Structure 1
């Protein structure tokens, strides 16, 4: 692999580039971002070697790491004129709409639907760093629809970054991510909003905030420009997750209101199991 092109030079796109540059000597990276400040920063940080709004014909991989509601249109346009030796990957956090939209494209074999399970609460090229993707999972959807000789280029990149590959169906991916990723961001956003509302009456409330609050609300610093399209694309699955979460919150509130503290303790004890599960996963 000698050349990759990245569209969307934020945290994921930027880190993918920096990681490959660290792992593969002599690799050339071009790229584009519609935010000119991001584009210039990517150049100054060495995320890309040259800016280009056109995909070079010799590109081995093209990474589309833009807001998820733009991905289908961008990939479809790229597939219209793709080189037979170029593989296009998307890094979107939702997969079903993208896979369905591109299913009938005559050059579908030049596309691989991917989602790196990695990130921070920060955005933009300034947040990118070479080891973000190291030891992380790369989820692939419908890889059987991608040409074998092109898939091998992606696998080479993932192996160079030390990533672990997992396979999922698009709907399964979106449904599970609604519970373990999208819901946690909503919870963090709304916890932050609740405390900000309280600050209107008590300006000093954050003086009481400890590490527990900071870790729980950390994701509230995430970019709304990235997360609003995710909510739009994955609406039905997120509503399912939200409905279950709200039901559990209502049960907790009702037990507290009626002084049923033994039952409340039992609910929290049951929830403790998630810690054991995460420890085993780690």
Structure 2
């Protein structure tokens, strides 16, 4: 099976390495606009060949779009236009509603399976990819009723090969949920990083006092702006709603602390402790 991966970074690269590690009979045809990334993908045995996008699509049984979501939005209709009959197209975008809408009336819409692998790290590029990233993780599939059974079956089989779990949901529901459980946490981490960096301008030793709590909370601030900027833009309505709720909670904490109302802060923290029940 020829799998053409457009975008040879963390997700695209890990997908390729994971399939190879499982012994899947695949040839990976790679496409990347960054020549350095293309060379790294070859050196790291992510890709077996580097081709132009039209060449890779023409030879593909499966095409994976693993580029930033603004690029996926442009590539989806173009790749569907040139997709061979019987081939399947999937994307790894962290937003789904706008992407699905972009090809809703495309004559080859059935060959497209809208997917989102729930996996990642704060690092990017081919050198960040590793074979076990997707193993045991969840693959969200949106609008499966709009995908041809054959295309859906191919994608599901690839997920099974990687030992991934699958969940199915509407695209709008996906974007709403991920605004809260993923996109908001990244904004929070970026904002915390900026806050402490601003303080560091005047207090040069502040990072010497940073413990594991700070490191774990700010970890996501290392994430790629090129990837996350378009996500926030495409999902701006849901992200704005999530931010409004978060800011309101922060304001409540500030007001309670300013008022020296320790009981109020304890009540808020105890309520937040309920997250243990959900996350185990």
TM-score (norm 2): 0.97
Question: C-alpha separation between the residues in 2 aligned to 1:110 and 1:21?
Answer: 24
2:104 maps to 103
| Cross-structure match for 2:253 | 252
How far did 1:40 drift? Answer: 0.6
1:146 aligned residue = 147
Aligned to 2:90: 89
* Contact in 2 for aligned 1:136/1:163 (Cα 8 Å): yes
Q: Is the 8 A contact 1:60 1:153 kept in 2?
A: no
Q: Is the 8 A contact 2:73 2:99 kept in 1?
A: yes
Q: Bigger CA drift: 164-173 or 55-64?
A: 55-64
CA distance in 2, matches of 1:81, 1:219: 36
Tell whether the 8 Å contact from 1:122 to 1:223 is kept in structure 2 after alignment: yes
Partner of 2:270: 269
Deviating more after overlay: 136-145 vs 75-84? 75-84
**What is the aligned partner in structure 2 of residue 46 from structure 1?**
45
- Gap runs ≥5 in structure 2: none
Q: Is the 8 A contact 1:58 1:86 kept in 2?
A: no
Equivalent-residue separation in structure 1 for 2:151 and 2:200 (angstroms): 54
**What does residue range 185-200 of structure 1 map to in structure 2 within 5 Å?**
185-200=186-201
1:75, distance to aligned residue in structure 2 (A): 1.4
Q: In structure 1, what is the Cα distance between the partners aligned to 2:190 and 2:182?
A: 13
Shift of 1:200: 1.0
Pairing 1:81-230 to 2, within 5 Å after superposition: 81-230=82-231
Equivalents in 2 of 1:151, 1:140: separation in Å? Answer: 9
Q: What is the deviation of 1:56?
A: 4.6
Judge conservation of contact 1:188–1:218 (CA < 8 Å) in 2.
yes
CA contact (8 A) 2:141 2:166 kept: yes
**Is the CA contact 1:87–1:111 (under 8 Å) kept in the aligned structure 2?**
yes
17-26 vs 90-99, which moves further: 17-26
Could you list the per-position Cα deviations for residues 45-80 of structure 1 after superposition, in whole angstroms to 9, with x for gaps in the alignment? 000000011225442210000010111221101111
Deviation >6 Å, runs of 4+: none
TM-score for both structures, normalised by structure 1: 0.97
Larger displacement relative to structure 2 (22-31 or 4-13): 22-31
How far is 1:210 from its partner? 0.5
Q: Deviations over 1:243-279 (max 9, x none)?
A: 0000000011001111111111000000001122100
- Root mean square deviation of aligned Cα: 0.9
Contact 1:62–1:88, Cα closer than 8 Å, also in 2: yes
Q: Contact conserved, 2:57 with 2:84, CA < 8 A, in 1?
A: no
